[in-house]
Structure formats: C-alpha cells, structure tokens
Amino acid sequence: MTSHLTPHPAAATPRRRTVVLAAAATATLAPLTTLGAGTAHAAGTAPAFLHGVASGDPLPDGVLLWTRVTPAPEAVPGSGLGPAVQVSWEVASDQAFSRIVAGGTVTASAAADHTVKVDVRGLRPQTPYWYRFTAGSAVSPVGRTLTTPGHDVTTPGVRFGVVSCANWESGYFSAYRHLAARTDLHAVLHLGDYIYEYASGGYPEAKYTVRQHEPKHEIVSLADYRTRHGRYRTDADLQALHQAHPVIAIWDDHEFANDMWAGGAENHTPGAEGDWAARAEAAKQAYFEWMPVRTSTAGTVYRRLRFGTLADLHLLDLRSFRSQQTKVGSGTVDDPERTITGRAQLDWLKSGLAGSDATWKLVGTSVMISPAAFGSLPAHLLGPLAKLLGLPEGGIAINVDQWDGYTDDRKELLGHLKERNVKNTVFLTGDIHMAWANEVPVNMATYPGSGTAATEFVVTSVTSDNLDDLLHVLPDTVSLVAESAIKAANWHVKWLDMDAHGYGVLDVTTERSQMDYYVISDKRRPGATSEWSRSYRTLNGTQKVERSYQPVR
C-alpha cells in the first residue's frame, strides 16, 4: 500500500481553537445520508466498497482512515484474488465536501486483503471532519470523525462509548447502532473480542446460534482471519458505528484464540492446528489490516492517547506478553516470575501514570484488574460461572485469566499508584460479559481500611453469552442470588449485572468520571431497543465509587 498525503494549505498550520464539545459540533447536522451505501453496489460491478469506512486513533492534528475496496467480484476477503487498484481519498471540513482539506491516493492490493489505511495529518484540533474514498466510479460511504483537543488545552469534558465482546453467532450488534446514533461522543473504545475465532455452533451451541460465522470452521490461517473480519464488516450496525465515530480499539484473546498467552492458547492444538506462532502472526496481520489501529513497530496495541489536560488514555495489550495461565489452587498465582503485562509494558504504564499531568488517568484493559473472591454458591450457578469467570466446580476461587492470576504485576502496579500518590486512575474493562462498578483495593484482605488505589468500570458484552444465556433462563431469574453472593464476598464491588447485554457511555469532566450503563432489549432481535440501566461515578480525588441517579445528558 502506498499513500500520498496532500494537506490543504489552510490545514498545514492548525490554529488554536476554543473548546468545542462533540455535541455542539454535531447537534445541528443532518444524519449521514450515505449510511450503508457501501452495500448498495450490485455484486457484479467492480470496484465496490462493500465493507464500509472507519476512522480511529484520533490525534490533535490527525486521524487514521480505513476502508476496503473490492476490485472484482472474486476478490472477497481472504481470497487473495483480485487486481491492485488505485483508491483516492479526501477529507473535508463539511459534510457536503465543499471544503476539502486533505486528499491523496493509495494502492490497494491482495497483499493487504485490499484494505486501505491512511494516517492523515495536518488537521485542526478538536474539529469534526468528513471523509470518503473513490475507486473508478465507485464512491464509498461518507464517514465522520473528530480530532482530539490539543495536548495542553483545557477542555471541559470528553465522552466515550465503551463496548466489548461481540460474538456474531450470539446475536445482532444493536448496541453499535445505538452508539452510532449518538451525536455527543468523542470516540468509541472497543476493549477487545471484536471478533470470535470459534467454529460455527461452537459458542453458543448450534441450536442457539442466531446467525452463522464465515468461514464456518474455526479460523486458524491468515485467509481464515481475513474472511472472519470481512464477515463482521458486512454488519450494518457495525458499519454504522465506524462511520459515525472514531474507534479506539485493543485486542483480547478471541481476535486470536480463547485464553491466549504469549506461547499458545486454550483453544489451540499444536500439530492439529499448526504452529501457534504462525497462527498468532496471521491473526495479528489480519487485525491490523482490518482495524483502524496504528501498527506499532513492536506489533502490539499498547499505546497512549491524550485528550487535552483532562485525560490521558493508556491502552494495554494483555495477551502478547503474558505467562501461561496457571491452574486455580496451584499456588503459583503470586509467582513474581509470572506476568500479564510483560516487563517493558508494565514499566511503560507505571511511568505514564506517574508522569501524567492530566486530571484523569484512564486505562483501557481487556481483563478485570479488581480481585474477585467467591465463597459458597449454589451448585447450579457454579457451572455457568465457571465458563464466564474461570472458576472450578466448587469453593473459593479466582479467575486466573484476569489480573487475579497474575497478582505480582497487580501488586506492583497498585503499590506504585499508592507510593507515587497517583490520583484519579480509572480502569475501563471488558471481557467477562457482565457489568461491574468496583473500587480497586490496595489490599483486598484489609479493605476498606487499606484504601483504594483506583476505580474500575467493567462493561458487559455486546452479544456474547452471560449468565442467563448460559442457563437459558429469563434475566434476573437466578442472577440475583449470584450477584448478592459476590457482593457479600467482595465489599469493593459496588454493583454488578450478570445478565444484560449493551454498552457504556463514559463521561469525563474535571469534577468526576461517570459510566452510564445501557442495556439492549433482546440481542436476538435486529431492531432491539436500548434503555439506560444504572450510572456510577468517581469524584475527582476520592478514588471511591458512588451511584449516580441519572445518566449524563
């Protein structure tokens, strides 16, 4: 892929802007009229934009743009077929494209699965832009994006949509549609499990499958991963999300294989499924081709973005460097030789948190950092909870796939926050298909006396199965018992919801960070509605979690 950036003269020297919230920038604009246009081309025409457009990793002066072009009918994702084609792109400061500020051309070829990524620079801070691509006579849908405030600019607020765990076969992506419809978001954080690697009917069982994966077998090769990403990108709600907002994404395990670690995965059989390193490299290549994420020289997703002086966002990669998960009860969870972050990433995170002058230090983590102990639970709850949380079939346990399985790293990080007096650290988490609002104790055994080092907001899944799905019962039928037991054993857990599917909206101001939790009515119905459920917040300087009785407006 080659790219030729041609900034508009007016954009070459960005001027300082007064603070403009995303809501103010978009509230008076008409909806994007080309929504879904990328699927309107006839199958026999070429080229075509069938997989939408996307933007991501916004900066004060730039943003990453993405699309995929289908140059010929046979050039489907993962096929390796189809000729190279020239793709033009342009960025405008208005939806009508009467004021073009940047443009250029790229070459899309089968070597990158005909995906296109353009890192546009020379834009103005905290400014909405519109972008589109053309190839021959084909024109892509129009996307909207938003740059971030200048690094030293005081901004009154920033607002994110927050999602994780979207399994194609488990349901429809209505949560994405409802976030796409909002005009008040600066970006959407995707905290992992953007795709799932399982074979069709593997998770959930075939009789509960809402729609089928493509390919239908478990994905292991580069072609497989490309095909699966391409399948996801045909979803209208997913396309709408990317078209409406910049997305800031990290990976978890299912972009590779279940319970991935540096040297393998639970869902990988050496020999029968080939070499793990080759599979992981294929998954990583497809991810960077299909996602609006900047590719680092180290081939990882940990990075840092800044939103004025209000918030630094530290994004973690908790799969590439971790030690293999230990067995519950083995006594090795505290082994200082075991790591979830890797030494370099942990040092990078500690340095970034201690050195940040932002009011809020947000940390995007794919697995929960708060400890969770489990006492006696009814037998009928232990089975499904084991699938969600990695529990054994009885007794007290921890989830060894999360920070609970790597306590030395957690102890070092939380101790660092306390010793360096780092305030206002908020972990934003996905993975476990439940919603939680937690205080992160310095020492769980002596909480609350030992104090809290941070707070944590965990969002539920977009579609992936949670407790009521695994038990095949109505919501709240049995979960209330489990939730009560968990909170009784974990005083730092202020709230959890084990049944709902949906998304979060995180609103950050100087005074507080607040997570609004939204639930969708039925993941199995394409037109599912969305409803606010709960809100929890942490006030500046307190490192405590309290309930808020209304969502942000």
The whole-number average pLDDT for the span 94-121 is 98
Q: Which residue has the tokens 């021959």?
A: 136
Specify the higher pLDDT residue, 414 or 8: 414
Residue 21's pLDDT is 28
Residue 97's pLDDT is 98
Encode pLDDT of 34-48 as tens digits: 333 334 444 556 799
Encode pLDDT of 495-523 as tens digits: 999 999 999 999 999 999 999 999 999 99
Question: Is residue 394 over pLDDT 80?
Answer: no
Is the bond preceding residue 204 a cis peptide, omega within 30 degrees? yes
Residue 19's pLDDT is 25
Packing angle between helix 276-290 and helix 222-232, nearest 10 degrees? 30
Classify 63 as helix, strand or coil: strand
Residue 318's pLDDT band, with cuts at 50, 70 and 90, is very high
- Helix, strand, coil percent values for the chain (each to nearest 5): 20, 25, 50
Residue 192's pLDDT is 98
Residue 389's pLDDT is 63
Question: Is residue 390 over pLDDT 60?
Answer: no
Classify 168 as helix, strand or coil: helix
Check: CB of residue 287 under 8 Å from CB of residue 293: yes
- Nearest Cα to Cα of residue 196 among 222, 232, 162, 221: 232
Residue 473's pLDDT is 86
Check: CB of residue 388 under 8 Å from CB of residue 434: yes
Encode pLDDT of 175-226 as tens digits: 999 999 999 999 999 999 999 999 999 999 999 999 999 999 999 999 999 9
The whole-number average pLDDT for the span 60-89 is 98
DSSP 189: E
The H or E element containing residue 115 is strand 115-120
Identical fold, 6-146 and 157-548: no
Residue 427 to residue 191: CA distance in whole angstroms: 11
Residue 384's pLDDT is 73
Encode pLDDT of 221-234 as tens digits: 999 999 999 999 99
Residue 44's pLDDT is 56
Residue 32's pLDDT is 44
Question: Is residue 3 over pLDDT 60?
Answer: no
The hierarchical CATH code for the domain 6-146 is: 2.60.40.380
Encode pLDDT of 272-313 as tens digits: 999 999 999 999 999 999 999 998 777 899 999 999 999 999
Give the global pTM: 0.90
Percent of the chain having pLDDT more than 70? 88
Residue 401 to residue 398: CA distance in whole angstroms: 9
Question: Is residue 12 over pLDDT 60?
Answer: no
C-beta atoms surrounding 130 within 10 Å? 21
Q: What is the mean pLDDT of the chain?
A: 89
DSSP 524: T
Encode pLDDT of 352-365 as tens digits: 999 999 999 999 99
- Per-domain residue ranges for the chain? 6-146, 157-548
Residue 387's pLDDT band, with cuts at 50, 70 and 90, is low
The whole-number average pLDDT for the span 162-175 is 98
The hierarchical CATH code for the domain 157-548 is: 3.60.21.70
Residue 378's pLDDT is 53
Angle value at C-alpha 58, between 52 and 59, nearest 5 degrees? 150
Packing angle between helix 379-389 and helix 479-489, nearest 10 degrees? 70
Contacts of the segment 82-85: beta carbons below 8 A, 24+ positions apart = 82/110, 82/114, 83/109, 84/108, 84/109, 84/110, 85/47, 85/109, 85/114, 85/135, 85/136
